[in-house]
Structure 1
Amino acid sequence: MKRLAFKMHLNEGQKEEYKKRHNELWPELKQLLKEAGVNEYSIFIDEETNTLFAFQKLSSNGGSQDLGQTEVVKKWWEFMADIMKTNADNSPVSVPLEEVFYLE
């Protein structure tokens, strides 16, 4: 199983809204992630810097970062754009992280 990690940035004071929106994740987005091979997906926050750390376990070579061409993901990005740093297309500014240690 492939593991993927990346970081994003949440706007100041938006932690509760971010949690709320993800607790109400759209069923069609959840289904799309599962179909893309995302078996586990966790997001953590560093409240000192508002940095979001995302971790995924994948059964395919893709991941959530490869779904930006789909309409549901474009709508999700637009929905989330007011509470986090985004690119011109509303996708979250995302930085891939290199795995430097793994204990199995």
Structure 2
Amino acid sequence: MTRHGSVIGLSEQGKADYLRLHAAVWPGVLAKISDCNIRNYSIFLKEPENLLFSFFEYHGADFAGDMARMAADPVTQEWWALNKPLQQPLDTRKDGEWWAEMTEIFHHD
């Protein structure tokens, strides 16, 4: 199992839509998240900066493969198409990232 944290901005104009969408995430999106070995998935909002922090645990053996399967899923693609315009990626993210990956520096069970 590996833990993953990432961060992205949320536009003030899109905040209400983003919150509405995530109050009722589509069942097909949730099923694909589970199918791709993601567990304990949360998204937090930090206001007034409008930063979204994502955390999940990956319980599979092929993270890149599972993420590629998720990205190829038509329902997930439709979900992302609704959410992407509401988000504001950080200028400091690495090439190829939308949500900026974070480095875990501390953990306690």
Range into which the TM-score falls when normalised by the shorter chain: 0.7 to 0.9
Quote the Cα distance in structure 2 between the aligned partners of 1:80 and 1:12.
13
Quote the Cα distance in structure 1 between the aligned partners of 2:13 and 2:88.
13
Contact 1:9 1:52 in 2 (8 A): yes
Quote the Cα distance in structure 1 between the aligned partners of 2:98 and 2:47.
18
Q: Residue 99 of structure 1 corresponds to which residue in structure 2?
A: 104
Quote the Cα distance in structure 1 between the aligned partners of 2:73 and 2:29.
10
Quote the Cα distance in structure 2 between the aligned partners of 1:58 and 1:94.
16
Give percent identity, aligned residues only: 23
Q: Residue 94 of structure 2 corresponds to which residue in structure 1?
A: none
Q: How does 1:4-83 map to 2 (within 5 A)?
A: 4-61=4-61, 62=63, 66=67, 67-83=70-86
Unmatched tracts of structure 2, length 5 or more: 90-96
Residues 22-57 of structure 1, C-alpha deviation per residue, up to 9 Å, x if partnerless? 121111111011111111111111113211000001
The structure richer in helix per residue is 2
User: Structure 2 length normalisation: TM-score?
Assistant: 0.77
List structure 1 segments (4+ residues) > 2 angstroms apart after TM superposition: 13-17
User: Structure 1 length normalisation: TM-score?
Assistant: 0.81
Aligned residues: 98
Unmatched tracts of structure 1, length 5 or more: 87-91
Contact 1:39 1:57 in 2 (8 A): yes
The two structures, once aligned, show a CA RMSD in angstroms of 2.1
Instruction: Report the alpha carbon displacement of residue 93 of structure 1 after superposing the two structures with TM.
Output: 2.5
Residues 48-85 of structure 1, C-alpha deviation per residue, up to 9 Å, x if partnerless? 3211000001211428x822222122111111133212
